[in-house]
């Protein structure tokens, strides 16, 4: 017999697939009542089985009127999101190179676009603080995801 986490996961996946939408909104307490479990068990399943590596983004609002919004993301979107997470707090040129190379390897950047990004961050390395460079690189990657 399946364990409770498997049952919760299958239930949520069934609803998400059945509605054929890119996202769905759940009430954690209502779902826990429906599945006869604690809300913390719902939270556990969401945090371990609905991750970006598995193709999901989960937004959660706790408290009265709280909800859980689950987004299904495309493979390309996952690559962009993972690349943005790979940006370290102090992005030196080697980190920029690694992130850009990853996007280029997946075919999400042309060689020209990749070189523009490399040169941009190379030329600005001495002019911006490390936090600004990290923030800008993350935002640039996530903005590119909007065009995919």
Structural domain boundaries of the chain?
A: 4-72, 75-146
E strand residue ranges, the chain:
23-26, 56-61, 67-72
List pLDDT tens digits, range 100-118.
Answer: 998 988 888 899 999 999 9
Whether pLDDT at 18 is above 80: no
CA atoms within 13 A on the CB side of 124: 17
Mean pLDDT of the residues in the chain: 86
Pick the CATH number of 4-72 from 1.10.3720.10, 3.30.70.1150, 2.40.30.10, 3.30.56.130: 3.30.56.130
Higher pLDDT, 72 or 69: 69
Instruction: Please state the pTM of the whole predicted model.
Output: 0.53
Q: What is the pLDDT of residue 33?
A: 94
Q: What is the pLDDT of residue 1?
A: 47
Range of lowest pLDDT (31-45, 76-90, 118-132): 76-90
CA dihedral 142→47→67→19, nearest 10 degrees, is: 80
Q: Is 24 helix (H, G, I), strand (E, B) or coil?
A: strand
């Amino acid at each position: 017999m399946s364990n409770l986490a498997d049952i919760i996961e299958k239930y949520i996946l069934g609803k998400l697939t059945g509605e054929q939408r890119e996202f769905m909104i759940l009430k954690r307490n209502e779902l826990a009542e429906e599945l006869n479990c604690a809300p913390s068990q719902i939270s556990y399943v969401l945090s371990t089985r609905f991750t970006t590596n598995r193709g999901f983004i989960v937004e959660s609002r706790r408290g009265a009127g709280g909800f859980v919004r689950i987004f299904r993301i495309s493979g390309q979107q996952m690559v962009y999101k993972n690349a943005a997470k790979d940006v370290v707090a102090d992005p030196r040129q080697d980190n920029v190179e690694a992130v850009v190379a990853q996007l280029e390897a997946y075919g999400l950047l042309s060689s020209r676009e990749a070189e523009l990004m490399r040169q941009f961050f190379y030329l600005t390395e001495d002019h911006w603080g490390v936090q600004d460079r990290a923030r800008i690189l993350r935002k640039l990657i996530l903005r590119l995801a909007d065009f995919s």
